[in-house]
A and B are shown apart, each in its own frame.
Chain A
């Protein structure tokens, strides 16, 4: 098979797989909204931990908490 044909088959396979993607509708998010489904069980503690982490890390940052590296803000 020619290269063009292979590419077309690949695109067809990908687009067919795309149709299997099912987004969770807004009204079906009851289970996802449960506290135990949260990525962070305690958002406040996670924010504080991130703040300390990125303040000490100095060279990085940009997560949910700000920090300039001095550990003072």
Chain B
């Protein structure tokens, strides 16, 4: 009887362990903080913190050189970012490259240059803390650093939806 009870307890504990793997990051939550090194020389030598972008609407984009849809998203996001920044809007894209070899990410960007800051996380700590489910995944943060949109995958028509959400957040009073 005692063994049966012990087994039941162990079973419950192991099932709980499995279910705990599926906890999710959700809209309205504060975006997890991070501090990462720049990918390219132009991204600087100092660590780049998410907190440095507080007060701006930020699109945190997780991408990799091997990710097919990233070929589509990268130039479109760059064009959108440059247009909004030129208009003086408080918006920025912070891209996180998750290539195991950062050189692969640098090669990708030499073919498709972007003007926004790109950091490298070869260890994968940040995508783990953001619970990234697919590549690419974008997290749109409001001026207070809360997650307002999680965009998984990318097709060219998605840029309109993202722009609409950005404009909505830019119109909000801080």
Point out residues on A near B: beta carbons under 8 Å.
4-5, 8-9, 11-12, 15-16, 18-19, 25-30, 33-34
Contacts and interface: CB of A to CB of B under 8 A. Distances in A.
Q: SS class of chain A's interface: helix, strand, loop or mixed?
A: helix
Interface string B87-102: 0000000000011100
B17 A19 contact: yes
Contacts of A18: 14, 18
Interface string B119-139: 000001001100011110100
Given A4-B4, A33-B66, A25 B14 contact: no
Contacts of B103: none
Contacts, number: 56
Given A5-B4, A26-B127, A11 B11 contact: yes
Contacts of A9: 7
Contacts of B3: 5
A60 to B, nearest CB: 31
B112 interface: no
Nearest to A1: B3
Given A15-B18, A19-B18, A27-B132, A8 B7 contact: yes
The 9 closest A-B pairs by CB, nearest first: A27-B98, A33-B66, A27-B127, A15-B14, A12-B11, A30-B66, A8-B7, A26-B134, A26-B135
A28 B127 CA distance: 10
